[in-house]
Amino acid sequence: MLLNIQTSPDILIIGGGLAGLTNAIDLRLRGYEVMLIEKKEYPFHKVCGEYVSNEVKPYLQRLGAFPETLQPKSINRFEISSLSGKIASCSMKMGGFGISRYAFDNFLFERASELGVRFMLNTTVNDVSFENDEFTVTLMNGETFIARVVIGAFGKRSVLDKKLGREFFNQKTDYVGVKHHFKVDFPEDLVALHNFVGGYCGLSRVENNHVNLCYLTTTKVFKQYGSIQDIEEKHLSQNPHLKRFLENAESVFEPLVISQVNFMAKKSVENHVLMSGDAAGLIHPLCGNGMAIAIHSAKICSGVVDAFLQQRISRKEMENRYEQEWGQAFDFRLNFGKAVQGMFGKPVLSNLGVNVLSKFPGLLNKAVQLSHGKEVL
């Protein structure tokens, strides 16, 4: 069924994670007709560290999108351990909050729905094309929409990346991410990062007094064991802090696993589609700031889209400005994460690095600051 341009939105967003939902809320508040297409149905879990830097709190509050009613956990301490269990710790000046993607994404979905954003859930986009200054978006069922602006917020890796001919898609990686929630005694104000051979694991509290455990490792580690339980009991538990945690923790749900996690540089604009969130670039999880970057990138994206639709700038200027502002906001942090990643999961480097950080806590404070940004208003 072909919908004519009168029934199509000003802006069509593909993907309803943090970036897509934040874009939808921001642009709807600016008065635009917004449609968001999401392949799943809310609420659902995602592999994610579930810590959000407070740098985006003022922006979320301005959008009426800060999840105060969900009682997110206030986090202001950080600790890191080496493979041997040596600890370095510091307080976090800006801090952040812990909340599950299951709850947060659903909260944003409800806020966007309340504002009048049009949703198509359980729906997959098959193709996006651009011609005569407008987009044609085709669904798997053949239905077609026309839009002036398309925002790609479809996450780390999607079949649309292949359709758009994105360079990173054909670059195979062996990174694997795992997440699940536990019931266990754990400080509410702490985010912890523990090394193990071939990876690292983050721990932090979310709502409902659950603790999120999320780790990044490689297919090589996976192939050594018969199950995720084996990996955690025999491999992660070589770190004494993870061993103690896992021995006392009760799993809340079956672990989620994602593969082909790719940290290769991406373009923030592809075939005139503005990429937002992880679709534009993925920061190494050890920096603990992917959620805030997704939200901040949506603010930048919404601003340039508004300027274009108000005819203050051309499409080319919109795309150039977005690429420039995105790079200014995030390039340093992504490169910093890539540089620091090299010492994680490696016995000699992680033991040496954490030993130095424990003796010079100012260095750890500085590293935390470098991985975070300034307040987003």
**DSSP symbols for 130-190:** EETTEEEEEETTS-EEEESEEEE---S--HHHHHTT-GGGGS---EEEEEEEEE----TTE
| Integer angstrom CA distances of residue 289 from 51, 89, 192, 264, 312 | 7, 18, 14, 17, 32
The CATH number assigned to the domain with range 5-46+100-171+262-341 reads: 3.50.50.60
- Cα 89 to the center of its chain, rounded Å: 24
Helix (H, G, I), strand (E, B) or coil at 91: strand
- For the segment 214-237, the average pLDDT, to the nearest whole number, is 94
Residue 82: band (very low, low, confident or very high) from pLDDT cuts 50, 70, 90: very high
pLDDT tens digits for range 189-198 = 999 999 999 9
The answer to whether 184 and 248 are in contact (CB under 8 A) is yes
Q: Please provide the DSSP assignment of 252-278 as one string.
A: -SPPEEE-----S---SEETTEEE-GG
Residue 304: band (very low, low, confident or very high) from pLDDT cuts 50, 70, 90: very high
Is 5 a residue whose pLDDT tops 80?
no
Provide the pairing of β-strand 273-275 with 149-152: parallel
Q: Please provide the DSSP assignment of 27-66 as one string.
A: HHHTT--EEEE-SS-SS---S---EEEGGGHHHHHHTT--
Residue 334: band (very low, low, confident or very high) from pLDDT cuts 50, 70, 90: confident
In the chain, list all ranges with CATH 3.30.9.100.
51-99+173-261+345-377
Is 344 a residue whose pLDDT tops 80?
no
Which residues is 41 bridged to in the sheet? none
Helix (H, G, I), strand (E, B) or coil at 304: helix
- Alpha-carbon span 344 to 374, nearest angstrom: 26
In the chain, list all ranges with CATH 3.50.50.60.
5-46+100-171+262-341
- pLDDT at site 323: 97
CB atoms within 10 A of CB 94: 16
Residue 311: band (very low, low, confident or very high) from pLDDT cuts 50, 70, 90: very high
pLDDT tens digits for range 9-61 = 999 999 999 999 999 999 999 999 999 999 999 999 999 999 999 999 999 99
Going 81 to 97 to 245 to 186, the CA torsion angle's sign is positive
- pLDDT at site 279: 92
Tokens of 373: 């940004």
The CATH architecture of the domain made up of 51-99+173-261+345-377 is 2-Layer Sandwich (3.30)
- For the segment 354-368, the average pLDDT, to the nearest whole number, is 91
Q: Give, rounded to a whole angstrom, the gap between the first and last alpha carbons of the chain.
A: 42
Closest to 145 (Cα-Cα) out of 135, 131, 153, 130: 135
The answer to whether 206 and 50 are in contact (CB under 8 A) is yes
Is 101 a residue whose pLDDT tops 60?
yes
Is 112 a residue whose pLDDT tops 70?
yes
Is 3 a residue whose pLDDT tops 70?
no
Is 1 a residue whose pLDDT tops 60?
no
- Cα 355 to the center of its chain, rounded Å: 30
Is 2 a residue whose pLDDT tops 50?
no
Check residue 72 and report its DSSP letter: P
The answer to whether 215 and 285 are in contact (CB under 8 A) is no
Tokens of 168: 């990173």
- Alpha-carbon span 48 to 32, nearest angstrom: 30
The percentage of residues in the chain with a pLDDT greater than 70, rounded to a whole number, is 98
| Integer angstrom CA distances of residue 362 from 124, 278, 350, 356, 369 | 48, 30, 18, 11, 11
| Integer angstrom CA distances of residue 51 from 99, 153, 191, 205 | 7, 20, 8, 9
pTM: 0.94
What does the mean pLDDT of the chain come to? 93
| Integer angstrom CA distances of residue 370 from 96, 327, 376 | 15, 15, 16
pLDDT tens digits for range 115-165 = 999 999 999 999 999 999 999 999 999 999 999 999 999 988 888 888 888
- Alpha-carbon span 97 to 190, nearest angstrom: 10
pLDDT tens digits for range 239-293 = 999 999 999 999 999 999 998 887 888 999 999 999 999 999 888 787 778 999 9
Tokens of 124: 């997959």
Closest to 146 (Cα-Cα) out of 163, 164, 133, 155: 133
- pLDDT at site 203: 98
